[in-house]
């Protein structure tokens, strides 16, 4: 049986009259709260308090309670003297690789695989990653993330992205590896390229944040300010020069709901498992490689060769070569290494920003490669430009302020 368009509409009306009941929509408290969180005037203060709470809980749980409260004491007071005394071959190269400096009195300075490596991975990074992912899962389950996406949509459009770019951006603050995968929620190749490049360069991972909170707590705000500014500056430039489309999207905003502990614990288990499998071996491996490079004199040679560039262009000491090499393996490890180099506060800020915007860690590198070698090469080209331009710019800013 064939129906005309009018007959079809009539049939639709007839069916809908039978099955639909019309009533008056009544706003609930959840609806009203939901509206407040997406309107800029009220939504921005709410976003600020959420980020404030996030950071405050992150730093006090990971830094004050776990690392400073217990792990420093455990590693520096008990584990380090014990491993220094029982490990055979003091003074030999195996001892140097696994235990590090035999007279070091803390795990940051020892720099062996079993001392600094384990301390960084378990004592500093694990609590940071745990609390980060726990809070992230809570915000996701409550339903705040889509609202944040709506709120920041306009800002992200300026850099060729849309509101959902906040998801990989915040995930990258935990670890860049799942964040690179999360860029698939963006629609076009252009958007995915911009997002991957920005997060690989400008977003420090939770491990790095944890270490920064531990070694440069007084300067972390300035470092983050430089990174946020760079994120939007280079995002804006990339949006202008990268060909392709940045379409509008419709965001489905679910109602607020009580978090389900089953969901949260499952997410937490999955993400922590990923971290333990990927990041911890890289931290230990990174320590070993850097120690071998020191033992073979490669780092000294690189430091001598690159000193004119590092001191002249970036204004940081030549010794930062070691941490920059380590940064390719693990950025948290590199920041830990920077903390024992003698330099001014401003040189330290520049060095930490350099480590952040320097090559993505090898795990992220592999993920970028999985997303396509053209993307990877493009990201690397942007990255090299950013390092020289932005690193030099920071040095110029310090010189203009007369603080270098």
Partner 1 sequence: MNEKIGRVYFGILGIITLIFGISDLIVTIGGNNFSWSILEISSDMFRGGWGGLIVISAGLFYLSSLKNFLEIHQLSRALMASMLIWILAGTDIFVKITESIPGGEEGPWFNSLEGFLGTYAPPYPPVIFLLPFSLIILFFLSKRKKA
- Contacts with partner 1 by CB under 8 A lie at 27-29, 32-33, 35-36, 42, 45-46, 48-50, 52-53, 55-57, 60-61, 64-65, 68-70, 72-73, 221
Shortest separation between residue 276's beta carbon and partner 1, angstroms? 24
**Of 131 and 194, which CB lies nearer to partner 1 in the complex structure?**
131
| Smallest distance from partner 1 to CB 218, Å | 10
111: phi then psi, degrees, rounded to nearest 5: 60, 45
Is residue 100 helix, strand or coil? strand
Q: Which of 230, 225, 193, 198 is nearest to 212 (CA)?
A: 225
Toward partner 1, which CB reaches closer, 73 or 266?
Answer: 73
53/92 with CB nearer partner 1 = 53
> Three-state DSSP class for 315?
coil
CB closer to partner 1 out of 28 and 85: 28
Q: Give dist(CA 331, CA 151) in Å, integer.
A: 31
Look at residues 224, 169, 167, 190 and name the one whose alpha carbon lies nearest to residue 352.
224
Rounded to a whole number of angstroms, the minimum distance from the CB of residue 46 to partner 1 is 7
* Smallest distance from partner 1 to CB 85, Å: 21
CB of 31 to partner 1, least distance (A): 8
Q: Which is nearer to partner 1, 221 or 243 (CB)?
A: 221
- C-beta of residue 263 within 8 angstroms of C-beta of residue 133: no
Give residues with Cβ within 8 angstroms of 53, minimum separation 6: none
- C-beta closer to partner 1: residue 7 or 105: 105
Structure tokens at 214: 């531990």
Contacts of 167 (CB under 8 A, 6+ apart): 145, 149, 182, 185
Provide, rounded to whole angstroms, the least separation between the CB of residue 200 and partner 1. Answer: 27
Burial of 398 per CB tally in 10 Å (0-12, 13-18, 19+):
middle
Q: Residue with structure tokens 């080209």?
A: 381
- Using only C-alpha atoms, the chain has a radius of gyration, in whole angstroms, of 25
Task: In whole angstroms, give the CA distance from residue 81 to residue 85.
Answer: 6
**Considering the complex, what minimum distance in angstroms separates the CB of residue 349 from partner 1?**
15
Task: Give the DSSP per-residue string, 205-225.
Answer: -HHHHHHHHHH-TTTHHHHHH
What region, left, alpha or beta, does residue 370 occupy, with left being phi > 0 and alpha being psi -120 to 50 degrees? alpha
Q: 136 or 175: whose CB is closer to partner 1? A: 136
Could you tell me the smallest distance in angstroms from the CB atom of residue 145 to partner 1?
Answer: 17
Q: Which is nearer to partner 1, 143 or 286 (CB)?
A: 143
Whichever of 46 and 113 has its CB closer to partner 1, that residue is 46
Cβ of residue 32: shortest distance to partner 1, in angstroms?
Answer: 4
Query: How remote is the C-alpha of 236 from its chain's centroid?
Result: 20
């Amino acid at each position: 049986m064939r129906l005309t368009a009018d007959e079809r509409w009539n049939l639709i009306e007839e069916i809908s009259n039978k099955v639909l009941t019309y009533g008056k929509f009544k706003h609930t408290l959840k609806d009203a709260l939901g509206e407040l969180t997406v309107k800029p005037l009220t939504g921005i203060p709410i976003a600020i308090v959420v980020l404030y709470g996030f950071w405050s809980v992150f730093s006090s749980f990971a830094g004050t309670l776990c690392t400073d409260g217990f792990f420093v004491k455990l590693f520096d007071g008990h584990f380090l003297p014990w491993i220094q005394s029982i490990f055979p071959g003091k003074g030999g190269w195996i001892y140097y690789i696994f235990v590090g400096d035999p007279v070091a009195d803390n795990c940051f300075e020892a720099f062996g695989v079993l001392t600094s490596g384990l301390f960084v991975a378990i004592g500093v990074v694990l609590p940071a990653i745990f609390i980060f992912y726990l809070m992230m899962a809570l915000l996701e389950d409550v339903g705040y993330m889509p609202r944040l996406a709506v709120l920041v949509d306009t800002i992200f459009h300026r850099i060729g992205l849309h509101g959902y770019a906040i998801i990989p951006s915040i995930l990258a603050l935990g670890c860049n590896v799942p964040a690179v995968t999360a860029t698939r929620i963006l629609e076009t190749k252009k958007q995915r390229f911009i997002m991957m490049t920005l997060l690989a360069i400008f977003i420090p991972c939770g491990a790095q944040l944890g270490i920064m909170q531990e070694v440069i707590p007084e300067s972390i705000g300035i470092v983050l300010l430089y990174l946020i500014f760079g994120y939007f500056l280079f995002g804006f430039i990339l949006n202008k020069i990268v060909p392709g489309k940045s379409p509008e999207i419709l965001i489905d905003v679910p109602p607020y709901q009580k978090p389900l502990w089953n969901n949260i614990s499952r997410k937490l288990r999955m993400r922590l498992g990923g971290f333990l499998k990927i990041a911890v071996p890289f931290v230990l491996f990174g320590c070993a490689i850097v120690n071998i490079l020191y033992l073979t004199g490669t780092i000294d040679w690189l430091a001598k060769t690159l000193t004119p560039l590092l001191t002249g262009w970036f204004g940081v000491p030549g010794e930062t070569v070691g941490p920059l090499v380590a940064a390719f393996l693990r950025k948290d490890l590199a920041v830990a290494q920077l903390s024992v180099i003698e330099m001014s506060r401003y040189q330290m800020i520049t060095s930490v920003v350099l480590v952040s915007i320097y090559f993505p860690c090898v795990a992220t590198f592999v993920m970028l490669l999985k997303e396509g070698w053209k993307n990877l090469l493009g990201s690397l080209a942007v990255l090299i430009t950013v390092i020289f331009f932005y690193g030099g710019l920071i040095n110029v800013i310090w010189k203009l302020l007369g603080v270098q």
